[in-house]
Amino acid sequence: MQSAYLLVTHGSRDIRPQIAIDQLRDRIEQRLSIPVGAAVLECAPTELHEQIEEFSRQHKSLSEIKIVPLFLLPGVHVKEDIPEQLAIAQSRINPKLELLPHLGSHAGMVEVLASRIAQIPADARILMSHGSRRAGGNAPIEEIASMINAISAYWSVEPKLETRILELKQQGC
């Protein structure tokens, strides 16, 4: 019997994130020589549990599917939405589903970000995140941004990317 990995991302109407995830999936699959899939939580024609079920049908010999949430923070999607979808899928398929820790929980994440961002010549750097409306929900992003000498911007709440770019322009960047 065989294990596999399923990478889970937020999802986007923009095709570029999906292209990047497909490339990542292919690289991991080549390196590990086991099936690796990709699924999205939002902006997809099917629910996450249906994507998991389809992945299971495509790989009938699997005994286990390890779900890897590619999320920086343990927000609602990581703590509630993904586990709920996994429970639905688990009730419908045989392979055991194992939810692994979200990407941002990796101990070396800040060091990886700092190393990568330092390689990019720039007068200023912006760490972009989805953002949370919950009180204190963006504090971890603010902390990470500070640690990697960047400022934060958010997709769903202020300060948005456009706001941060204008601020940086006004500062002469």
At 89-99, the pLDDT tens digits run 999 999 999 99
Instruction: Determine the Cα–Cα distance for residues 94 and 96; give it in Å rounded to an integer.
Output: 6
Question: 25 and 37 in contact (C-beta within 8 Å)?
Answer: yes
Complete domains list, the chain, with CATH: 2-104 (3.40.50.1400), 107-170 (no CATH)
At 5-64, the pLDDT tens digits run 999 999 999 999 999 999 999 999 999 999 999 999 999 999 999 999 999 999 999 999
- The answer for residues whose C-beta is within 8 angstroms of residue 130's C-beta and 6 or more apart is 10, 75, 154, 155, 156
- pTM, rounded to two decimals: 0.81
Report the percent of the chain where pLDDT is more than 90.
82
- The answer for residues whose C-beta is within 8 angstroms of residue 106's C-beta and 6 or more apart is 112
How far, in Å, are 63, 103, 163 from residue 49 at the CA level? 17, 20, 36
Instruction: Determine the Cα–Cα distance for residues 65 and 54; give it in Å rounded to an integer.
Output: 12
Residue range 71-82: mean pLDDT, rounded: 90
Question: 129 and 73 in contact (C-beta within 8 Å)?
Answer: yes
